[in-house]
């Protein structure tokens, strides 16, 4: 095969990790021909939707506890690559952190992040080939041949697979490349949505659709405490949502059918403090109906819901008819509102994939153990991070890392 016909490095997927990988590979090996093969009509569509259009691209508090999955050396890889501030600073994107440590571009605009990545890739001479949906990889004497759904063939020496997972298929990620790698003998772990709402029985959410409340979410399984987070909880007609619930979604994979969420809707108050408050209200509002008991603590729908679920009595009764035991039941429910998790959200509502190609399938350079010359990065691997910039940080770092190792594996080759 002539030099003109073979690409040195083909990157499958032009998302966050694929763009970072292509930039790093071309920086290290300027003479290498680096091509991004992207299924959609343009690269980086998902980046535009991140952080509600603001792109929460990293977090100042990076640590192992924020990552889940079988890729065990994530922190080593993150530590071996430039920080997000350094990486983006080097391509002209200045970053700033909010009070919770979440790092955003100063522009507060995801499009500027994508534009800067694309400009840098273009300056270096990375080629974008959009509308190429890879569906087959075969080995050849020179390396590999990637076929597309429409029958195009793409010969290359090395491959970086950066095609993401199953989450948010509206941005091009439907797990097809995970299936492709499975057919090549890669072992995949259990796959389910992460950073996503969790389903509960809809009859337990009657009247709560659209309600938001501050509180603590505690995840349990079989009486065992798993994790807790404080933040805004959102109720939909069939799910619990909000960042603190999103961060519990990865537990569904391991504890399917046995996962419980307990909401403490007055996390900043002790039981007895709440009782004291309710005793006063009970005295003051005695002539009013019980649906007014919690007016002032919760918004109307949530206030009625709690009173009804705690007492099982009509809300038309007078507050004066409640006794000490009734007030205690209400306090108990405010602090322990339990839901059995019945399922996870549909892929379109998930931000991330829990599970993927097992960490055991790649070596410490993120190269497939069974097929040398193919490197993996980003969400396609079995690793997912908490909400707060951790997933994009993994995408940039693993992309840079795979891009660097892939380019270095070509050293000495006649390009």
Ligand X SMILES: Cc1cc2nc3c(=O)[nH]c(=O)nc-3n(C[C@H](O)[C@H](O)[C@H](O)COP(=O)(O)OP(=O)(O)OC[C@H]3O[C@@H](n4cnc5c(N)ncnc54)[C@H](O)[C@@H]3O)c2cc1C
What is the contact surface with ligand X in residues (CB under 6 A)?
12-18, 37-40, 46, 49-51, 55-56, 132-134, 162-164, 167-168, 172-173, 176-177, 351-352, 378-379, 389-392, 395
Query: What CA–CA distances, in Å, run from 292 to 263, 303, 334, 399?
Result: 22, 8, 15, 55
Given the complex with ligand X, which of 118 and 216 has the nearer CB atom? 118
Alpha carbons 328 and 91: distance in angstroms, whole number:
59
Given the complex with ligand X, which of 58 and 290 has the nearer CB atom? 58
* Letter string b/e over residues 121-146, b meaning 16 or more CB atoms within 10 A of that residue's CB: beeeebebbeebbbbebeeeeebbbb
DSSP states of 280-296: HHHHHTTTSBGGGTTBT
CB of 385 to ligand X, least distance (A): 7
**Nearest CA-CA partner of 299 in 207, 202, 199:** 207
CB of 379 to ligand X, least distance (A): 4
Given the complex with ligand X, which of 166 and 220 has the nearer CB atom? 166
CB of 4 to ligand X, least distance (A): 23
Tokens of 228: 């807790």
Say how far residue 369 (Cα) sits from the centre of its chain. 26
CB of 222 to ligand X, least distance (A): 30
Given the complex with ligand X, which of 253 and 304 has the nearer CB atom? 253
Tokens of 96: 């700033």
Q: Are 215 and 263 within 8 A, CB to CB?
A: yes
- H-helix segments, 15-174: 16-28, 45-49, 74-79, 84-90, 110-124
CB of 399 to ligand X, least distance (A): 7
CB of 6 to ligand X, least distance (A): 19
Given the complex with ligand X, which of 83 and 307 has the nearer CB atom? 83
Given the complex with ligand X, which of 167 and 303 has the nearer CB atom? 167
Query: What CA–CA distances, in Å, run from 325 to 267, 284, 311, 322, 402?
Result: 21, 18, 10, 8, 62
- CB closest to ligand X, residue no: 15
**Nearest CA-CA partner of 25 in 41, 7, 1:** 7
Given the complex with ligand X, which of 132 and 339 has the nearer CB atom? 132
CB of 257 to ligand X, least distance (A): 26
Given the complex with ligand X, which of 83 and 391 has the nearer CB atom? 391
Alpha carbons 179 and 184: distance in angstroms, whole number:
9
Alpha carbons 85 and 105: distance in angstroms, whole number:
9
């Amino acid at each position: 095969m002539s030099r003109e016909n073979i690409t040195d490095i083909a990157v499958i997927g032009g998302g966050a990790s694929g763009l970072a990988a292509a930039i790093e590979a071309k920086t290290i090996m300027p003479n290498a021909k680096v091509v991004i093969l992207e299924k959609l009509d343009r690269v980086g569509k998902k980046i535009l939707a991140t952080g509600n259009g603001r792109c929460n691209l990293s977090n100042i508090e990076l640590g192992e506890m924020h990552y889940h999955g079988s890729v065990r050396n994530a922190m080593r890889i993150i530590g071996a690559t430039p920080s997000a501030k350094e990486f983006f600073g080097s391509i002209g994107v200045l970053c700033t952190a909010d009070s919770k440590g979440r790092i955003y571009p100063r522009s507060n605009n995801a499009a500027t992040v994508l534009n800067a990545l694309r400009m840098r890739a273009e300056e270096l001479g990375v080629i974008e080939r959009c509308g190429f949906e890879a569906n087959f990889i075969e080995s050849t004497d020179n390396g590999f041949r990637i076929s597309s759904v429409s029958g195009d063939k793409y010969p290359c020496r090395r491959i970086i697979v950066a095609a993401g997972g199953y989450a948010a298929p509206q941005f091009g990620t439907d797990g097809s490349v995970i299936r492709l790698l499975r057919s090549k003998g890669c072992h995949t772990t259990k796959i389910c949505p992460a950073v996503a709402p969790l389903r509960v029985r809809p009859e337990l959410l009657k009247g709560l659709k659209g309600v938001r409340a501050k509180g603590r979410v505690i995840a349990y399984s079989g009486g065992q405490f798993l994790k807790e987070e404080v933040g805004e909880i959102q109720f939909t007609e069939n799910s619990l949502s909000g960042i603190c619930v999103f961060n519990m979604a990865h537990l569904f994979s391991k504890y399917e059918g046995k996962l419980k969420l307990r909401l403490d809707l007055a996390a900043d108050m002790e039981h007895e403090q709440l009782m004291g408050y309710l005793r006063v209200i009970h005295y003051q509002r005695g002539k009013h109906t019980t649906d007014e008991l919690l007016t002032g603590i919760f918004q109307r729908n949530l206030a009625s819901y709690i009173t009804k679920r705690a007492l099982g009595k009509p809300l038309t009764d007078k507050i004066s008819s409640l006794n000490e035991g009734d007030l205690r039941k209400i306090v108990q429910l405010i602090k322990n509102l339990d839901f059995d998790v019945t399922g996870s959200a549909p892929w379109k509502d998930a931000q991330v994939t829990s599970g993927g190609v097992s960490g055991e399938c790649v070596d410490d350079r993120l190269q497939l153990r069974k097929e040398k010359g193919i490197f993996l990065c980003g969400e396609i691997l079995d690793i997912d991070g908490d909400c707060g910039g951790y997933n994009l940080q993994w995408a940039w770092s693993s992309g840079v890392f795979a891009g660097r190792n892939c380019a270095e594996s070509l050293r000495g080759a006649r390009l």
